Chains A and B, each alone.
Chain A
Amino acid sequence: MKEKQIQWSKIYLALMGSLVTMITLFYWLTCAYS
């Protein structure tokens, strides 16, 4: 795995995307079962 071959910006975006997805799911859990 070489530094140049890795598209870091895509990995960072994926990480932020997973964070947003998790928060959305958690919010749904909070609202759906309150």
Chain B
Amino acid sequence: MSNLDWLVLFLTLVSIVVYGIYKTRGKKSLETYLKGNTANWWTIGLSIMATQASAITFLSTPGQAYEDGMRFIQFYFGLPVAMIIISVSFVPIYYKLKVYTAYEYLENRFDLKTRTLTALLFIVQRGLAAGITIYAPAIILSTLLGWDLTWTNLFIGVLVIGYTVSGGTEAVSITQKQQMAVMMGGMLLAGIMVIQLLPISLQEALQVAGKMDKLNVVNFDFDVADRYSFWSGMTAAVFLFLSYFGTDQSQVQRYLSGQTLTQSRMGLLMNGFLKIPMQFLILFIGVLVFVFYQFVTPPVHFNRVQTEALRQSEYGQDFALLEQSYLSNFDSSKQVYAQLLTSIDLDKVESTEELTSTLKSLKVEQQEIREEVKALLVTQDPKAETRDTDYVFMRFVMDYLPKGVVGLLFAVIFAAAMSSSSSELNALGNTTTVDLYKRSVKKEGSESHYVNSSKIFTAFWGLGAILFATYASLFENLIQAVNLLGSLFYGTILGIFVVGFFIKWIKGQAVFIGALFSQALILVVHFFNGEGLLGIHWDIGFLWYNVIGCLAVVFFGWVFQLFVGSSSIKR
């Protein structure tokens, strides 16, 4: 990176942090520290979007579109529906009860143990996820920038802890506004620049992308094993979004920071309007980068550090041969693309189909060469991570975008890492204080005592996240397990809230047992997924766990209330 890029990167990040700390300086009451209560609707909307948009959104999503096309967008189709449901039913209840956390509501409606169980599930899941929110981008950024991984973790973590501890919820919301501006401004600029860099027109680029199955945006075929289809987006994903936005404190905290109920609801609906276009933009940039690399030689593997190490190793000769085959494959396909565009232009249907089929065969060969390179990487270093889709976009940025813009795009990734991480730490600190410490450990403290406790807990979770991120590479299996945790717990947590909001006659004891039964069921469904049990076979996408978990809590809670609950209530 050039000096200008470093300047843009550091100025952007540091000015956001300094602004956040400066704007929220001074002594705060518990109410203002934990809830903020000053945000208007668009601050809330941006804050909700910034919380969900992690660095991986900007690193992986374009790479995903590069490999798999745009079908991922269907995952978000259920989001506007979920925003309406939460706006109508969840938010007014949280406001009416003046809660600090979503879990506080559960004690009001059920009992202390249901509140504590749900808060603990959140803390375990988010506490571990906070480490990965830092680690996942840090490992990619440290490779791209040539930084030490520990220092990259520390750089992201310390900045986030600084303003999150200092200014609480308000600081998180304020900085997320600037971070979202950087993210969207940077991505829009990147999109415009990719279009300018394309050696063909945008219309031709769309034709190339379409023929290579990259514009497969909507798929109406129903298949429960398919994660991304119209049906899974409109059904299972609605449950996931209801759980994430309606019951996960890292999101609930965002709209509880509103000045009024109206501002909070408007903020949620703003997210409903803008989320799909935002994801479309990011995916579309990935597709345009794919088209670009059909006419400009792409690297055989996008992680340059790994390929350079391979080149210098004893396998350098083999790698050079594979690179040569890749180059000759690229030259052939480039010629076919030229013929394809002429054929489309002249409206020759048969020839277009033939050329498309030739291109797809060449793509298969290209993929085979890439797989051979990956195998070589593993032979050279058995621990090597061969997946390179996360590097596609930033490698393009570093190789082809002008000075200054590269720094801005790195700032986008860092800002995204910081925005999602700050929401997590803020929510973890507040939940630990309100739902555990204030409720069950020290009930009679002063306001300033709880504000300081919240600061200490936030810092504790932040340092824990940095520590986890630093040692995460030693526990690859743990990372996968943490990524899975959300899918395993979300359905059950949503089920508890659904019973609370909509099925008034099911009481605390019944919902608690129902939740335990539901969680056991989800674990059975997950561990036997693809194989089945007792002669029953199933193979379902993880999104459906949210539906099963939620409905199972309602069902078991209902049954338990009918047969056992009434007698225990009488006692």
**A interface vs B, CB < 8 Å?**
1-3, 6, 8, 11-12, 15-16, 18-19, 22-23, 26-27, 29-30, 32-34
Q: B46 to chain A: which residues have CB within 8 Å?
A: none
Report the Cα distance A30→B74, complex, angstroms: 12
Q: A34 to chain B: which residues have CB within 8 Å?
A: 210-211, 213, 215-216
Whether B206 sits at the interface, judged by CB under 8 Å, is yes
Q: B73 to chain A: which residues have CB within 8 Å?
A: 26
Contact of A15 among B206, B230, B272 (CB under 8 A): B272
Given contacts A26-B217, A26-B218, A33-B210, contact A19 B261 (CB under 8 A): no
Given contacts A3-B261, A27-B218, contact A22 B83 (CB under 8 A): no
Q: A18 to chain B: which residues have CB within 8 Å?
A: 80, 273
Report the Cα distance A14→B277, complex, angstroms: 15
Which of the four size classes fits the interface of chain B?
20 to 34
Contact of B84 among A6, A12, A22, A27 (CB under 8 A): A12
Best-surrounded residue of B215, B260, B263, B265 (most CB of chain A within 10 A) = B215
Q: Are A23 and B273 in contact (CB under 8 A)?
A: no
Q: A26 to chain B: which residues have CB within 8 Å?
A: 73, 217-218, 280
Report the Cα distance A16→B516, complex, angstroms: 35
User: Interface 1/0s, chain B 73-104, versus A by CB < 8 A?
Assistant: 10001001101100110000000000000000
Best-surrounded residue of A2, A6, A16, A30 (most CB of chain B within 10 A) = A30
Can you name the residue of chain B whose Cβ is closest to the Cβ of A12?
Answer: B84
Given contacts A11-B269, A19-B276, contact A33 B206 (CB under 8 A): yes
Q: B343 to chain A: which residues have CB within 8 Å?
A: none
Q: Are B209 and A33 in contact (CB under 8 A)?
A: yes
Q: Are A30 and B80 in contact (CB under 8 A)?
A: no
User: Interface 1/0s, chain B 272-287, versus A by CB < 8 A?
Assistant: 1100110010000000
Contact of A33 among B80, B81, B83, B215 (CB under 8 A): B215
Q: A8 to chain B: which residues have CB within 8 Å?
A: 87-88, 265
Contact of B80 among A3, A16, A29 (CB under 8 A): A16
Residues 187 to 211 of chain B near chain A (Cβ within 8 Å): 206-207, 209-211
Q: Are B262 and A1 in contact (CB under 8 A)?
A: yes
Given contacts A29-B217, A30-B215, contact A15 B262 (CB under 8 A): no
Report the Cα distance A34→B80, complex, angstroms: 27
Q: Are A19 and B209 in contact (CB under 8 A)?
A: no
Q: Are A19 and B217 in contact (CB under 8 A)?
A: no
Can you name the residue of chain A whose Cβ is closest to the Cβ of B210?
Answer: A33
Given contacts A12-B84, A15-B272, A19-B276, contact A30 B217 (CB under 8 A): yes
Report the Cα distance A2→B186, complex, angstroms: 35
Smallest beta-carbon distance B229→chain A, Å:
12
Q: A11 to chain B: which residues have CB within 8 Å?
A: 269
Contact of A23 among B83, B207, B218 (CB under 8 A): B218
Report the Cα distance A3→B206, complex, angstroms: 45
Report the Cα distance A33→B217, complex, angstroms: 11
